[in-house]
Structure 1
Amino acid sequence: MATAESYRIAIVGSGPGGLSAACRAAEMGDSHILLEAQPHLSNTIYRYQKGKHVMAEPNVLPLRATAAFEAGTREKILEVWHNDVARLKVNVRYRAQVVKIERQASGFKLTLASGGTVLAEKVVLAIGVQGNPRKMGVPGEDLPNIQYQLDDPDEYKGETIVVVGAGDAAIENAIALARQNSVHIVNRKAEFSRAKDGNNSLILGAIEQGKLRCHYNSTPERIEKLAPGHPSGKPMLLRLNSKEGAVEVPCDRIIARLGATPQREFVESCGISFPSEDPAAVPAVSPTYESNVPGLYIIGALAGYPLIKQAMNQGYEVVEFICGRPVAPADEPILRQKFSAFSANPDVEAFLDVLNRRSPVLAAMNRLQLREFLLESRIFSPAVGEVLYKEGDYGNSVFIVVSGEVGVQLDPNDPTKLRPIKAGRIFGEMALISGRPRAATVVAGKDCVLIEVPRRAMLKLISANDRAREYIDRVFTLRALERYLVPGADDAQLKAIVDSARLCQFKAKEMIYTAGDAAEHIHLIRSGSVTLSTRVGTRDVVLQYHAAGQYFGELDVIAGTRRSQTATAAIKTETIRLDAKPFLQLLDRHPQMKAAVQARFRSQIEQRLAMERDPERGARMHFLLGQGLGEATDALLIDESLCIRCDQCEKACAATHGNVSRLDREAGATFDNLHVPTSCRHCEHPHCMKDCPPDAIHRSPNGEVYIQDTCIGCGNCERNCPYGVIQMGVQSPETPSLWRWLLFGRGPAPGSDIHDYPKGAIKKAVKCDMCGTREAGPACVQACPTGAAIRVGPEEFFEVLARGGR
């Protein structure tokens, strides 16, 4: 029997973290082996689409690794890594899938799929979370032209291609392939429920327009090879089991995007524990990356750090820790500089301990998560009285009070009336969660030290950390109650109401309650928007519209009646549902508070009656909400009764933006005299911002959603926008000229659009930015000679509806 090979360190997985660890071990002469299941390095990067631009984030974090890495194309990065592995003589073994890791007295025994074994004193798991592509599991799945990855959709032209799957990857592949091929997509369900909103809109639009065919409620049953000369002219036949019966699809190629087999089962078989059953949960690791199994270390995405630079730094550091060469984390100098707001010579670990105790949000994170969180944040000490943000601003950040306090202005006419927010509390969360403007002005108090957390970092924390999300939701509920529903109440008085809170989620057009239901709850809108409607004759008439940060359902609760209206989610919406009983008990205990609430109650009843007297206004509101104004914060409308079709709005837009118009006046829907052209809505939670790799899309304090020059042209924002207002194009410094183009062939051709660009030109995302750099405001509105073009936000809907658009 062959003797098992023995090493000091066995590194499993050659992704960025494992590669970096192996390169460092090779450089230092440490006994090591790098085990890779595939026949090539870094399978996740290898499977990226050809030409994909790979980012080097976080930008502020220095790279500490023997292997080189900088932002660039997939191909360039893989070439550099292959050269580094050869130069350093890394002991790498390909096609060496590890199927079992067992703890032994002197270390670990690793069993390979081939049957071989490797012994190691220490093991570094750098296997990521993707696993192996999940196959269809049907006869014929190994025939030629069946693949589980799409590198470059432009490689295929004129083929009949079946995409199996209903997730984002399947949708994006199907849409890209449909430009040059006949495409079928197979969805085992009746809808694309797992897809992002933007992709869902894209695929449904493509199906409706006949660009591709969808087989709903269908699953692959078998794949058969067809004989040459078959009448279909295709090499194979996919048989589907569908709701309507058997379906046969002759095709050239099948691309199955069914996700991957999870790594969790294998990881747990190694003895590693997870903190919860949540599929997104990651194992806890020590500051030296050691798991609960002594001697077994975890780095990279499996430990919750998916960014390449983070993983490479961890790979370098874990080898140093294992070999008794301890190093300070790569972020130590950066954090020391950040903590200078507290002390001239701060001890990073000591201050991390202090911060962990100061705030429930910071206490919800482990040490490595906290360091990453702080890297993306700003720690500063503002002067007393400094305005941190103003009422009406749009916010891109949340603040945590570390020491001292800040003051919230209660009366815009009297800046001295302030409600304090003490150390340990957060503020600014309402604008972040709702996507709406800041509700009040906040100024710095004495001895104030703050952490300003950017939008992206806080949303990532909320989505991944239940403790942090629950705390922030509770604060959001308290603030909304204090500001909108029961002003003057303190936290203690509101505790019973907040304790009854429950987060509810609704799809677009889903009913929250209907007329005639018992009025047992009040809803605060966390995100999204809601309409209240009533039945008039044979149709539903929209009477009220409520945006994120507002509440609804309180009128029937106060009146003690059953629901008089139907509440419907205008778009995908989250509400915080509050029990009516503790709310009514609070009002009964505080007559002055009850009188103020009842005064607002009467005002809203009058508004409702005005809407009921003008049902056409409700029809116009229904139209606007259907065009996405339910989530808009600034939308362009055109009054068709005043528009003279001069196109001055488009010309002014083009002249302001490098001769590329971001407005299509004629496109879009019209109701009565209201026209909604194809122009950015500047959504409360912009779809375009959800998946921007370089974080190039931002929102300014005045609400404009704009794209920075750091755009890499990946097209994610174009795909995610449900309103078709983003395009990929190239700006031109020249105005189109017929004579210059005819005589000299120079400059853009008259009538050319942003898709007519020189070969090799860099495409970037193009959209309306509300002319944020123009002091005079949006050029389209300013250039309109008749005043037909107007920009409105949700707070102006009622005014626009009342005058019929004029």
Structure 2
Amino acid sequence: MMDTPQSNQAKMMFADVQADYDVVIIGSGPAGLAAAARAHELGNRHVLLEAENHASDTIYKYQKGKHVMAEPGVLPLRCGLPFAEGKRESILNDWNKGLTDQGIHIEYQKKVNGIAKSSPTSPFQVTCEDGTVYTSRTIILGIGLQGNVRKMGVPGESLPLVQYTLADPEEFKGETIIVIGAGDAGIENAIGLAKQNNVYLMNRDDEFGYCKDGNRNLVLAAEKAGQIKICYKAFAVEVVETGSNPPLEFVFDGKNGQERIACHRIIARLGAIPPRKLVESFGVQFPNQNPTSLPVLSESYESNVPGLFIVGALGGYPLIKQAMNQGYEVVQTINQLPVVQVDEPILRERLAGWQKSKSISEILDEVLARVDLFKSLTKLQAREILMESNSRQYKAGEVIFKKNDYTNTFFTILEGSVDIEFEKEGEKPQVISLPAGNFFGEMGLVSGRRRTATIKAGKNCIVLETARRGILKLIATSDEARKKIDARFIINSLITYIGNVFSVDDLLELSKEVEIKRFNAKTTIFKEGDEPDGLYLIRSGSVSVSKNINGKDQILAYVSAGNYVGEMALVDNSKRTASVNAVVMTEVLILKAESFKKMVDKNPVLLQIMRAKMIDRTRQNSSHEALGQDQSGIANFFLSQGLGEASDVLVIDESLCVQCNNCETACSETHDGVSRLKRAAGATYAKLHIPIACRHCENPSCMKDCPPDALSRGSNGEVFVNDSCIGCGNCERNCPYGVIQMAVNKPPKKGAGLSWLLFGLGEEPGHRAPDYDPAARKRAVKCDMCKTIPAGPSCVRACPTGAAIRVSPEKLLKEFLG
């Protein structure tokens, strides 16, 4: 039995329990090391058990030379061991030195296979595979998530050249390698391999939302430099042995449909399935059967088993600095010393005085109790949501957002109520009141398009406004929250798209029968001649409607998110009269034909709405069929240039353009000498030219990876860069249309415009002397649609012939399709 002169035993939890140790710490990851260091500092009788023959096995297995981040940057470190951003080897050396210098009691090759307690007053009995037994008053469990490696889940996942770890990237040279996984491990492997191999990185999302900012910057820079090819929205289908060289073929569904890549090996970094069965054998409970769910923990990280604490990744804190702080705080709790979590000042600021008389713990209880969406979350998850949120207080009748605004934050109602106004042309707005505990804003969040209704505050209205990124993370980690958001989206979609002709019970019943389906870009949703299978509500993205005329497909219409297709065949009970194809990655809500029939039978008014829509569309399609291939070709050109995801695009009619370049000059003069457009660049078809200028996309790629959140969307749809830009260049790398550049603002113009015009004196407009420091920090610059100028975009106003216009894709395509 160990003893220490400075022992704090009298003040500890379970101080009257007789045991060999005050605390047994299992797992020497960052949390376990920090806990052991603090226990040693407080004089606790402790032992740190490690299953391997070295400390911190997860970091030990990082690839050689890995640069380890110290995130989150805003949090200070509480720990008796050093930790700062640096190389894997340096960090391990510092920790090993700390273990030795401080005399921390660590025992290696002690793999724990049992934790038991014979009675509430008895000590924990910890058993190892080698037969060693330890007794302890308390347990800190920090074994991480590296239980069973998560495999691809497709045919061919276990072939010899499919591997799930990578120790040394230098081992492979001159190969084509597929790396699957857009987390930190996958990114680091891809970057390490890219120096001497041809590397493809598969990302199931359209952004890097689950990695550290530094890794995101590195992989996007490598993509920009052509060192790595990144495939977004990529879902593995199978791995096939070719019997030749290269020996494998990787098949996946991507943005452009199903693709195949021949390769020498596949490295899948998909994390691991948590060691849940082992943890449950210790008596620890989980909230549900979801294999990725976290154990039920108190705010002090104590499990349902009194005295058994869970820290690190297993407890929901995968980042090193968070885990080390957690280990420190748990030992403070065990010693019954004061614990103030390091993020509390930040949370107080976010809450802006709401419930200021209460502790953060009490506020979290309040939020979990009031907001239905958050009820399935742990306090730790709720804490993360608050870190991405701000509380807002509104006066009764004050507008929170307006219909057709382009904002995309998400709101939960903490107090009071809000009124949702659904407007139809020529009709009085229909108002639905939402009380506290509900949420709104999911329509714009999911579709990326304009707000579909006006929201006004009721009495005593306080809401929590959460950044899009925070809610997307919640959707990815909580099935329960995702289902609730999907259900609400479906209900509001039915009201918005079809009309408020249903009772609340009808809506709830219908929401259960709606299927959500995703279609890759350029894939067919349904074909002309198909039997009708349902009504398709476009949730996000856009589609084209086409018909085969004289052996050629002719585009009849472009339909964006917020509308529906497929009603004509359902109303007429006939086969599909046209084909519908996804223009970009598109998600639809499918109301099955049987459900649609039941809905129509129950609501005769709905049949009238649908029939009127069908007659209007039939008339439009008939006129479009007579337009011929020229107009259809123009529509195809616009959609091929990405206008399907644009909200506002600059188009130049080259039959009117005199190439004076006034548009570029005006843009430059308006924006401190840096033009946001390139007139001569871009694609042209039938005298219609789309220059290099921002399209202000519905779901802007540039906004997805901005560390300071410097890119914002105005209520009119304009995407602009604010003053918090740090010049990291992520937005420039992410933009698929090359419309963002990094630039130093040139000096103010010299005021020679009129004198130059009349007498030829001074610099001509649009030209600046290059007297700025070329080493100065650059910032991202892009078109902001001249949002501060009431007269509108300078490029359009400066055109002497009217050749340049800015227009929405819907209006543009309507112009050519009739």
TM-score clears 0.5: yes
2:799 to 759, 781, 784: 784
Residues 150-175 of structure 1, C-alpha deviations (whole Å, 9 max, x = no match): 69xxxx9xx85654534447996799
Aligned counterpart, 1:290: 302
Amino acid at match of 1:56: P
Aligned counterpart, 2:442: 429
Aligned counterpart, 1:518: 531
Instruction: Tell whether the 8 Å contact from 2:242 to 2:248 is kept in structure 1 after alignment.
Output: no
Aligned counterpart, 2:373: 361
Change (3 A) 1:354 1:166: closer
Q: Cα distance, 1:255 vs. partner?
A: 10
Q: State the SS of the aligned residue for 1:25.
A: helix
Change (3 A) 1:589 1:262: closer
Change (3 A) 1:277 1:496: closer
Of 338-347 and 566-575, deviating more is 338-347
Q: Cα distance, 1:334 vs. partner?
A: 6.1
Aligned counterpart, 1:376: 388
Instruction: Tell whether the 8 Å contact from 1:502 to 1:577 is kept in structure 2 after alignment.
Output: yes
Instruction: Tell whether the 8 Å contact from 1:666 to 1:677 is kept in structure 2 after alignment.
Output: yes
Amino acid at match of 1:618: S
Query: For residues 161 and 431 of structure 2, what CA distance do their matches in structure 1 show?
Result: 72
1:465 to 459, 478, 494: 478
Change (3 A) 1:410 1:490: same
TM-score, normalised via structure 1 length: 0.76
Q: Cα distance, 1:434 vs. partner?
A: 0.6
Aligned counterpart, 1:232: none
Amino acid at match of 2:575: R
- Structure 2: gaps (5+ residues): 1-18, 118-122, 152-156, 209-218, 230-236, 251-263, 751-766
Change (3 A) 1:134 1:472: closer
Q: Cα distance, 1:91 vs. partner?
A: 4.8
Query: For residues 422 and 267 of structure 1, what CA distance do their matches in structure 2 show?
Result: 41
Aligned counterpart, 1:721: 735
Aligned counterpart, 1:533: 546
Query: For residues 583 and 532 of structure 2, what CA distance do their matches in structure 1 show?
Result: 21
Aligned counterpart, 1:580: 593
2:35 to 15, 21, 32: 21
Aligned counterpart, 2:124: 107
Q: State the SS of the aligned residue for 2:247.
A: strand
Q: Cα distance, 1:472 vs. partner?
A: 1.4
Aligned counterpart, 1:801: 816
Which runs of structure 2 are paired with 1:698-717 in the superposition (5 Å)?
Answer: 698-708=712-722, 710-711=724-725, 716-717=730-731
Q: State the SS of the aligned residue for 2:268.
A: coil
Query: For residues 728 and 186 of structure 2, what CA distance do their matches in structure 1 show?
Result: 16
1:316 to 328, 352, 355: 328
Change (3 A) 1:141 1:379: closer
Amino acid at match of 2:434: I
1:611 lines up with 2:619 in the alignment: no
Which runs of structure 2 are paired with 1:691-770 in the superposition (5 Å)?
Answer: 691-708=705-722, 710-711=724-725, 716-727=730-741, 729-734=742-747, 762=777, 765-770=780-785
Aligned counterpart, 2:233: none
Of 694-703 and 546-555, deviating more is 694-703
Which runs of structure 2 are paired with 1:203-352 in the superposition (5 Å)?
Answer: 240-242=246-248, 257-259=267-269, 262=272, 264-265=274-275, 268=278, 271=281, 280-291=292-303, 295-307=307-319, 310-325=322-337, 327=339, 329-330=341-342, 345-346=357-358, 349=361, 351-352=363-364
% same residue: 35
Q: Cα distance, 1:558 vs. partner?
A: 1.8
Which runs of structure 2 are paired with 1:436-447 in the superposition (5 Å)?
Answer: 436-447=449-460
Which runs of structure 2 are paired with 1:515-664 in the superposition (5 Å)?
Answer: 515-615=528-628, 616-657=630-671, 659-664=673-678
Of 115-124 and 128-137, deviating more is 128-137
Query: For residues 592 and 600 of structure 1, what CA distance do their matches in structure 2 show?
Result: 13
Q: Cα distance, 1:691 vs. partner?
A: 3.8
Of 606-615 and 459-468, deviating more is 606-615
Query: For residues 802 and 180 of structure 2, what CA distance do their matches in structure 1 show?
Result: 46
Q: Cα distance, 1:515 vs. partner?
A: 1.4
Aligned counterpart, 2:696: 682
Query: For residues 255 and 163 of structure 1, what CA distance do their matches in structure 2 show?
Result: 5
Of 338-347 and 513-522, deviating more is 338-347
Query: For residues 711 and 108 of structure 2, what CA distance do their matches in structure 1 show?
Result: 42
Amino acid at match of 2:436: A
Aligned counterpart, 2:59: 43
Instruction: Tell whether the 8 Å contact from 2:408 to 2:448 is kept in structure 1 after alignment.
Output: no
Query: For residues 35 and 676 of structure 1, what CA distance do their matches in structure 2 show?
Result: 64
Change (3 A) 1:458 1:561: same
Q: Cα distance, 1:485 vs. partner?
A: 0.9
Q: Cα distance, 1:708 vs. partner?
A: 4.5
Instruction: Tell whether the 8 Å contact from 1:96 to 1:112 is kept in structure 2 after alignment.
Output: no
Q: Cα distance, 1:385 vs. partner?
A: 1.0
Change (3 A) 1:68 1:172: closer
Query: For residues 171 and 571 of structure 1, what CA distance do their matches in structure 2 show?
Result: 26
Aligned counterpart, 2:72: 56
Change (3 A) 1:98 1:480: farther
Change (3 A) 1:34 1:365: same
Instruction: Tell whether the 8 Å contact from 2:21 to 2:135 is kept in structure 1 after alignment.
Output: yes
Amino acid at match of 2:587: E
Q: Cα distance, 1:397 vs. partner?
A: 1.4
Residues 691-740 of structure 1, C-alpha deviations (whole Å, 9 max, x = no match): 4444443323222333445555555544443334445x342535999xxx
Amino acid at match of 2:27: V
Amino acid at match of 1:667: A
Amino acid at match of 1:365: L
Query: For residues 45 and 788 of structure 1, what CA distance do their matches in structure 2 show?
Result: 61
Query: For residues 655 and 41 of structure 1, what CA distance do their matches in structure 2 show?
Result: 58
Instruction: Tell whether the 8 Å contact from 1:651 to 1:661 is kept in structure 2 after alignment.
Output: yes
Query: For residues 443 and 375 of structure 1, what CA distance do their matches in structure 2 show?
Result: 25
- Structure 1: gaps (5+ residues): 210-215, 223-237, 245-253, 738-749
Change (3 A) 1:46 1:165: closer
1:509 to 522, 530, 537: 522
Q: State the SS of the aligned residue for 2:581.
A: strand
Q: Cα distance, 1:392 vs. partner?
A: 1.5
Q: Cα distance, 1:476 vs. partner?
A: 1.2
Residues 530-578 of structure 1, C-alpha deviations (whole Å, 9 max, x = no match): 2221111222122222222222212221222221111222111211111
2:406 to 394, 401, 407: 394
